[in-house]
Amino acid sequence: MPAPGPDRGSGTIDRPAALISLETLFLDKAGDPCPVPHASSLLTRLAEISQPVILVGERLADHRLPAAWPDRRAWLHHTLGGEAYTTASFEAPPAARLNDDAALSDAAACWAEVAARHGARWLLSSDPHVVRPAQAAGLAVVAVGPRVAAPEVAAVVRPDREARDLRDAVNQLLLEAIFAG
C-alpha cells in the first residue's frame, strides 16, 4: 500500500521545503516522547522562509507511533501543537549497508523522491546515517544536536551545516535567507 500523501492544508507552497526528521523535534528521554522546548514556535519561525515538512515514520526512538496514518498525524499535531508545518509519512532507508554502492544508491533514490515530492532543499536531522544518502539526493543537510558516536559515518561525510539544537538550526537557515536575498 503506498504511503499517504502530505498533510498540506489549503494553501499553495511557493517556497522550498525543509524536511525535518521526527527525532530532531523530540528529546531523547525514556517513556513518552517529549518535544524539544519551543518546537512549535521554532517551526513557525522556519515557516517564514521555508515550508517545514516533518517526516513521520512508525517509531520515535523506542516509542511505537499509532499504526494508522490519520492517528499518527493527529498524535503529532496534538503533541507538538501549532499549524506551521505539514507532515509526510516516510521511513528513512536502513543505514546498515550504506557503504555498499547499491544500498547507497537506493537510499539516495528514496531521499530524492521525498525531496522532489515536497520541493525540499534542506534536511534537518539528528541521525548521522542520513547525511550521505540525503546529500547524494541533492539535499543540503543540517546535523542537529551533539555529534553521535558513529565513526563509520563521521569519517566518510560531513553535513553541510552543524547546529547544536533545533533553535540553532532554524537561526542558521533564517540568517542565510536574510543575507541571500
Those residues of the chain that have pLDDT short of 70 are 1-14, 29-30, 95-98, 148-156, 181
| 40 found inside a domain | yes
Residue 7 within any structural domain of the chain: no
Domain count, the chain: 1
pLDDT of residue 14: 64
pLDDT for the residue 162: 96
CATH number assigned to the domain comprising residue 53? 3.40.50.1000
DSSP for residue 44: H
Q: Give the span between the Cα atoms of 169 and 173, in whole angstroms.
A: 6
Instruction: Please give the span between the terminal C-alpha atoms of the chain, in angstroms, as a whole number.
Output: 42
pLDDT at 3: 39
- Residue 101's pLDDT is 81
Whether residue 8 is contained in a domain is answered as: no
What is this structure's pTM? 0.86
| Residue 148 belongs to a domain | yes
Asked whether residue 2 is assigned to any structural domain, the reply reads: no
Reading the block at residue 131, the C-alpha cell is 547525511
Give the residue numbers spanning the domain of 56: 17-180
In this prediction, residue 138 carries a pLDDT of 97
